[in-house]
Amino acid sequence: MKLTIPPHILSLKPYEPGKPLEEVEREYGIKDSIKLASNENPLGPSPLALKAIREATMSLNRYPDGSGHILLSKLSQKLNIAAENIVLGNGSDEIIALLALVLLQPGDQVIIPKPTFLLYDNIVRSVGATPVYVPLNELSIDLDAVLKNISPECRMIFLCNPNNPTGTVFSASDFERFLQAVPSDVVIVVDEAYIEFVRNPNCANSLEFISRNAALVTLRTFSKAYGLAGLRIGYGLMSQTLAELLNRVRLPFNLNSLALAGAAAALDDDAFLEKTIRLVHEGLDFMYESLNRRGIEYFPTQSNFFLIDVKKDAQEVFQRMLSEGVIVRSMKAYSFTNYIRVTVGLENENERFLKTLEKVL
């Protein structure tokens, strides 16, 4: 059989997510490892979410609620935005894919800061559109440079805030000026997967601008602060017109019953969310202080992960730490050849990471 594959599909490179802990241990023959590579919640899911998930397993013979009514209602109330402005997705990744499917076509351009979340690039290319890369300025997204790269062919802009993998943010005042300067026919997608961890009071919260800008989309997720990465559930907030278009192409029952139940219950568990945020902030402060004492250079973050300059090949450091049972992320794929990224873990995991890093270096 001879298949005709579009060139833009052949150009794609598969996204390489962090491997599950069990797979890494099998592959490398290690035990008692800790995973600080994928920006996951070290506390696990919310107890309320787990209870709701267990109860939902009794109805797995039934199709899930295709409208996600209960979750939409809770999100609407919590975020003070109409349910008609919310689109639920199989992770926020699916919302990105739906936006590309609805809004992009071959010949269109999409501005993507570099480096940032790698999936934007693949999704843009998958529909035949062309990524236009704008380098970061001292690890931060350069909004002025983004504006200078807007062409008549530009249809979309991706902004990750806090940015992955750098953990930096842009301010509300800079973002407001940026919004005023972007042409009205260019959709601005702000990915706020890590917004719950932000400590900088000047950080932009794109939700505050949704009602004023019809071309603005906010992405949020239950994977990080809410600890539901394994259930794959996220959402997008946007104009009702755009939400209606995405719902036209969204697959029926794109969210399973357990994800819907777990996410709805997680929204009620404020105590767990506060515990998670406190753990991350305390963990960051502890790791910063410890790295300062060791004379190891790092870059402060507004997220639950941060970058460390290991002053040598990051892949080598990653492999040596892996052999010690400590899994971090090499930043070579992001063109940071001497940087690793580490996620804040539990107290004992943070201590083990620091001791192992010092040993390896």
Nearest CA to 223 out of 242, 248, 195 is that of 195
* Furthest CA-CA distance within the chain: 62
Same domain, 74 and 175: yes
Same domain, 176 and 249: yes
CATH number for the domain that contains residue 123: 3.40.640.10
Asked, for residue 10, whether it belongs to a domain, the answer is no
Environment class of 108 (CB within 10 Å of its CB; exposed 0-12, middle 13-18, buried 19+): middle
Return all residues near 180 (Cβ < 8 A) that are at least 6 apart.
none
Same domain, 205 and 318: no
Return all residues near 35 (Cβ < 8 A) that are at least 6 apart.
18, 21, 24, 327
Tell me if 246 sits within 8 A of 99, measured CB to CB: yes
Same domain, 258 and 291: no
Same domain, 155 and 178: yes
Asked, for residue 1, whether it belongs to a domain, the answer is no
Tell me if 350 sits within 8 A of 283, measured CB to CB: yes
Residue 239, SS3 per DSSP: coil
Asked, for residue 51, whether it belongs to a domain, the answer is yes
Asked, for residue 70, whether it belongs to a domain, the answer is yes
CA distances from residue 201 to 149, 170, 171, 235, 258 in whole angstroms, order as listed: 29, 11, 9, 24, 35
Tell me if 194 sits within 8 A of 162, measured CB to CB: yes
Asked, for residue 30, whether it belongs to a domain, the answer is yes
Nearest CA to 136 out of 178, 175, 165, 177 is that of 165
Asked, for residue 7, whether it belongs to a domain, the answer is no
Same domain, 233 and 307: no
Mark out the alpha helices in 230-346 (DSSP H runs): 240-249, 257-266, 270-294, 314-323
Report pLDDT for 18: 66
Return all residues near 240 (Cβ < 8 A) that are at least 6 apart.
82, 84, 85
Q: 326: number of CA atoms within 13 Å, CB side?
A: 25
Domain that holds residue 225: 47-266
Enter the tokens of residue 273: 């969310």
Return all residues near 348 (Cβ < 8 A) that are at least 6 apart.
none
Same domain, 279 and 320: yes
The span from the CA of 39 to the CA of 329, in Å, is 10
Enter the tokens of residue 158: 């991706």
The span from the CA of 55 to the CA of 258, in Å, is 9
- State which of 209, 237, 266 marks the end of a domain: 266
Same domain, 233 and 330: no
**Token pair 């259930």: residue:** 231
Q: What share of the chain is helix, strand, coil (3-state, %, to 5)?
A: 45, 15, 40
Same domain, 231 and 350: no
The span from the CA of 203 to the CA of 305, in Å, is 17
The helix/strand count (H/E) of the chain reads as: 13, 13
CATH number for the domain that contains residue 330: 3.90.1150.10
Asked, for residue 8, whether it belongs to a domain, the answer is no
Residue type at position 143: L
Asked, for residue 230, whether it belongs to a domain, the answer is yes
What kind and span of H or E run contains 73? Answer: helix 69-79
- State which of 232, 266, 300 marks the end of a domain: 266
Intervals of the chain under pLDDT 70: 1, 18-19
Q: How many domains does the chain have?
A: 2
Same domain, 233 and 274: no
In our burial notation (b when 16+ CB lie closer than 10 A, e otherwise), range 303-333 reads bbbbbbebeeebeebbeebbebbbbbbbbee
Give pTM, 2 decimals: 0.95
Report pLDDT for 4: 82
Same domain, 95 and 241: yes
Return all residues near 40 (Cβ < 8 A) that are at least 6 apart.
223, 224, 227, 229, 343
- State which of 251, 266, 281 marks the end of a domain: 266
**Token pair 């390489």: residue:** 16
The span from the CA of 325 to the CA of 153, in Å, is 48
Same domain, 34 and 52: no
Give tens-digit pLDDT for 302-317: 999 999 999 999 999 9
